[in-house]
């Protein structure tokens, strides 16, 4: 079936599902008209629930000259209680988020694309605080799910084209994702939610709000905690951890003081990607199982799986099974923010923040797969002696350990001068990060637990130190030319000084691609003129037209220090150019409310965008197979400037409110992102010109249908993800899929239970239990790639009460 025919079939299925739900009358969020109501109504609802007012997906946002979509708290929790911010926004147009667990929490195999830009090319904030680079294993930031408990999210706004000039980010070549934590409620209260479900899931959330207090009744606070435990769906691994949030707000005529704290301690079972050869030439290459479950906790099965020398079955090739793998992360995040009202027309916001992280990425695998490393550190030992030296089990444990300490200040001065809203802001951050690669014995008589920190390594393969100093400034003017026309323009500057070095170097022969040692040095990335200009024209209070043009730049990150030699680093330092993008977007918005009519509200946006992406860097690993397409032994990365990428695309979305009962949302996206040039690694030229960037689909469709009938609610979500490519040369296509999720809920008689509110909800993910590829891992230009599986159908039952 062609892509267009499959898309039409998908849309037909969405329409049939919509009709079925309309006939059955179970439903989705509060009527979209509520979102168009006054701010007073929103504030009143926010007092009833920490998650804020219930409302449909808002496809026309207040981001005046940019395309943006807002997802309110109530909608986030309807998708799945406890879902991550990223897991929630996958319903929005132009956004594709993939991971192997239904909450969207697992970071090792997460994938995010917005308008063809990948997860490390976007900007992220929480309450204006920069979250950093969210690549897996980074030492510069943390994901939203570790920064705020899901139930404490106030809303998530996704700018799909280009983020605001003031976004504190080094990566936002494309859009930005702004997550906001909810403020404390004005009344004293307690909220408790308990979720149980598939694979022994148990999630507990509790929050206590103080209500207003103090002499002027201007203070309020809350403390909240979440505990989640679940078994991995394809093996007996454990997903879990604790998270605590606390927030204090004091507000009066002088300004608003906010203090926020987050503690997150999480353990995630990793998932091994399936290495897939486009044209396998051996039986081992052709072996490509749908899942590669770990053998943990069956230690005897693990011992029986390898031979006496720690070798895996030859027939399984790169898709052998490891004993266990897990990601352990502990984070402390806090900020102090004061928004001062200096005069009636001048305000000054200052936010100081600090983030500390300790982490371990643990893999216990067969010794035979890591033999090159072990032999390098024990060159005089025979194979049998190596087995004994590493615990006698035929296994060895590799741990990548992380430390992050970063702090900074975000400052913004705003002034209203006649019909000009002038904003001048700055961001400074100092980041200090360390990565250790340690190897541990796995004792045949006393195997270690993957969910506790590993201690006493056999040897440290390498240690990397990384420091950055960042300064970003912006100046912009929002000019209200008339009641109908608004023009917004400004400029941003960015300066990053990054230094990296290796106090401990790998031994020769232990690290693929290394020549003479891993590099050290300093790289400064700067651009003093990153302009933006946009405008919005309001035709009649309901229809708007807008456009925005903006240039952005991405910092190199740690990639240059992953090259294989000092010479390669020095060459890149002299000749390498940072990735930059020019984003052009234009669109139409419409918002209408029809009180008393069957069609009670209509909210729509159509957005066209064009991106000229320059100096696109491809990172090609020197190893194949194992974890995410690269070997467990690790290796260097080669960076290639493949020139430009040209993107053209369209997003169209609408939300209909029907009779104050039913809400229907549809988001359709088309994205055509292609490389402009071929590239050469010095010996081979790869035909990448005209090829679609890997991992990002051309077509996506998102449907959300919901209704409220008295105390009963229901919601259906359908997502079509079109065909993707898994290699730079597009010789590895990955099939499209359509996934359905659902929810039914009932409000319980709270008065009879002497509660403020009570509800019971059943969520089912992947209703039809489809199989396919979620995240794609691309590490080679052609011939081979890795894919991760889609999580199977799961159910979750949640009881929520408010007191």
Measured between alpha carbons, how far is 540 from 542 in angstroms, rounded to an integer?
A: 5
**DSSP secondary-structure letter at 127?**
T
Written as six digits, the tokens of 401 are: 């350990």
Beta strand pairing call for 153-159 and 68-72? antiparallel
pLDDT at position 622 is: 63
Partnered with residue 104 across adjacent β-strands are none
Contact yes or no for 723/738 (Cβ under 8 A): no
- Residue 470's SS3 state is strand
Percent of the chain surpassing pLDDT 70? 91
Question: Could you please report the per-residue DSSP string of 205-240?
Answer: EEEEEE-SBSTTS-EEEEEEEEEEEEE-SSSS-EEE
Measured between alpha carbons, how far is 789 from 800 in angstroms, rounded to an integer?
A: 31
Q: Residue 111 belongs to what H/E stretch?
A: strand 111-114
The CA–CA distances, whole Å, from 255 to 19, 184, 251 equal: 50, 16, 6
Low-confidence spans in the chain with pLDDT less than 50: 1-54, 625-630
3-class SS string, 374-394: HHHHCCCCCHHHHHHHCCEEE
CB under 8 Å to 180, separation ≥6 — which residues? 126, 127, 153, 154, 155, 156, 157
pLDDT tens, 356-377?
Answer: 999 999 999 999 999 999 999 9
List the one residue out of 328, 306, 461 whose CA is nearest residue 394.
Answer: 306
The CA–CA distances, whole Å, from 562 to 111, 138, 789 equal: 21, 13, 28
Contact yes or no for 140/431 (Cβ under 8 A): yes
Phi, psi of 311 (to 5 degrees): -90, 145
pLDDT at position 697 is: 96
**CA 546 to chain centroid:** 28
Q: What ranges make up the beta strands (E) of 659-768?
A: 662-675, 679-680, 685-686, 699-709, 712-721, 724-725, 733-734, 737-747, 757-765
Written as six digits, the tokens of 786 are: 């890795």
The mean of the pLDDT values for the chain is 89
Length of the chain: 803
List the one residue out of 717, 587, 573 whose CA is nearest residue 652.
Answer: 587
CB under 8 Å to 432, separation ≥6 — which residues? 404, 405, 406, 466, 467
CB under 8 Å to 662, separation ≥6 — which residues? 21, 22, 25, 27, 28, 656, 705, 706, 707
pTM strictly above 0.85: yes
The CA–CA distances, whole Å, from 408 to 6, 145, 424, 647 equal: 49, 21, 17, 34
Helices (H), 69-223: 73-79, 85-89, 144-147
Block residue for tokens 């809303």:
155
Measured between alpha carbons, how far is 541 from 544 in angstroms, rounded to an integer?
A: 8
The CA–CA distances, whole Å, from 18 to 668, 707, 768 equal: 16, 11, 16
Cis peptide before 408 (omega within 30 of 0): no
pLDDT at position 21 is: 34
């Amino acid at each position: 079936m062609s892509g267009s025919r499959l898309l039409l079939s998908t849309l037909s299925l969405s329409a049939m599902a919509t009709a079925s739900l309309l006939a059955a009358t179970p439903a989705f969020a509060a009527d979209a008209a509520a979102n168009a109501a006054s701010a007073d109504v929103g504030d009143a609802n926010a007092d009833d629930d920490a998650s804020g007012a219930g409302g449909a997906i808002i496809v026309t946002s207040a981001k005046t000259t940019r395309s943006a979509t807002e997802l309110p708290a109530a909608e986030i929790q309807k998708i799945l209680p406890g879902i991550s911010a990223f897991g929630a926004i996958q319903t929005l147009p132009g956004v594709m988020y993939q991971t192997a667990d239904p909450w969207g929490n697992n970071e090792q195999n997460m994938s995010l694309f917005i308008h063809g830009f990948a997860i490390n090319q976007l900007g992220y904030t929480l309450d204006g605080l920069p979250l950093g680079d969210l690549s897996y294993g980074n030492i510069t930031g943390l994901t939203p799910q570790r920064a705020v408990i899901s139930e404490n999210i106030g809303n998530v706004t996704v700018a799909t084209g280009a983020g605001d000039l003031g976004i504190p980010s080094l990566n936002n070549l494309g859009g930005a994702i702004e997550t906001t934590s909810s403020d404390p409620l004005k009344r004293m209260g307690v909220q408790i939610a308990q979720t149980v479900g598939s694979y022994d899931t148990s999630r507990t959330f509790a929050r206590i709000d103080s209500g207003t207090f103090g002499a002027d009744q201007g203070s309020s606070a809350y403390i909240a905690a979440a505990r989640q435990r679940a078994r991995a769906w394809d093996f007996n691994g454990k997903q879990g951890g604790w998270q605590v949030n606390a927030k204090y707000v004091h507000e009066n005529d002088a300004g608003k003081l906010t203090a926020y704290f987050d503690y997150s301690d999480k353990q995630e079972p990793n998932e091994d990607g399936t290495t897939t050869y486009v044209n396998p030439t051996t039986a081992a290459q052709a072996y490509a199982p749908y899942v590669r479950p770990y053998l943990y906790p069956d230690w005897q099965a693990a011992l029986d799986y390898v031979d006496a020398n720690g070798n895996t079955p030859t027939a399984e090739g790169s898709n052998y099974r490891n004993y266990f793998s897990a990601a352990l992360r502990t984070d402390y995040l806090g900020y102090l923010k004061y928004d001062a009202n200096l005069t009636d027309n001048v305000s000054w916001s200052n936010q100081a923040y600090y983030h500390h992280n300790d982490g371990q990425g643990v893999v216990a695998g067969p010794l035979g797969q890591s033999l090159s490393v072990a032999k390098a550190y024990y060159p005089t030992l025979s194979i049998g002696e190596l087995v004994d030296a590493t615990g006698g089990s035929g296994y060895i444990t590799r741990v990548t350990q992380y430390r992050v300490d970063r702090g900074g200040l975000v400052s913004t001065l705003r002034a209203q001068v006649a019909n000009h809203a002038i904003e001048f802001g700055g961001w400074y951050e100092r980041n200090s990060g360390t990565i250790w690669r340690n190897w541990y014995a796995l004792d045949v008589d006393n195997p270690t637990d993957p969910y506790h920190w590993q201690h006493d390594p056999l040897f440290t393969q390498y240690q990397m130190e990384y420091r950055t100093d960042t300064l970003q400034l912006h100046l912009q003017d929002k000019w209200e030319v008339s009641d109908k026309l608004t023009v917004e323009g400004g400029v941003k500057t960015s300066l990053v000084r990054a230094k990296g070095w290796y106090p401990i170097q790998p031994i020769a022969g232990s690290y693929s691609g290394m020549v003479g040692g891993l590099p050290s040095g300093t790289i400064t990335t700067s651009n003093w003129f990153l302009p933006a200009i946009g405008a919005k024209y309001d035709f009649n209070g309901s229809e708007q037209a807008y456009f925005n043009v903006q240039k952005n730049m991405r910092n190199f990150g740690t990639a240059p220090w992953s090259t294989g030699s000092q010479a390669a680093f020095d060459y890149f330092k002299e000749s390498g150019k940072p990735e930059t993008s020019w984003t052009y977007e234009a669109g139409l918005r419409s918002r209408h409310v029809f009180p008393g009519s069957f069609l009670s509200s209509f909210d729509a946006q159509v957005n066209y965008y064009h991106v000229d992406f320059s100096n696109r860097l491809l990172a090609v690993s020197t190893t194949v197979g194992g974890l995410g397409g690269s070997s467990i032994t690790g290796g260097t990365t080669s960076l290639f400037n493949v020139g430009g990428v040209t993107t053209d695309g369209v997003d169209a979305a609408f939300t209909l409110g029907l009779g104050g009962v039913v809400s229907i949302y549809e988001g359709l996206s088309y994205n055509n992102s292609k490389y402009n040039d071929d590239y050469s690694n010095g010996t081979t030229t790869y035909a990448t010109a005209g090829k679609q960037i890997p991992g990002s689909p051309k077509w996506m469709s998102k449907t959300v249908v919901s209704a409220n009938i008295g105390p009963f609610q229901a919601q259906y979500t359908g997502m079509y993800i079109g065909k993707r490519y898994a290699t730079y040369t597009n010789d590895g296509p990955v099939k499209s899929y359509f996934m359905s999720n659902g929810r039914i809920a009932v409000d319980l008689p709270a008065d009879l239970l002497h509660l403020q509110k009570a509800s019971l909800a059943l969520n089912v993910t992947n209703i039809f239990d489809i199989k396919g590829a979620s995240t794609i891992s691309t590490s080679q230009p052609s011939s081979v790639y890795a894919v991760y599986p889609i999580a199977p159908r799961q159910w979750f039952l949640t009881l929520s009460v408010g007191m």
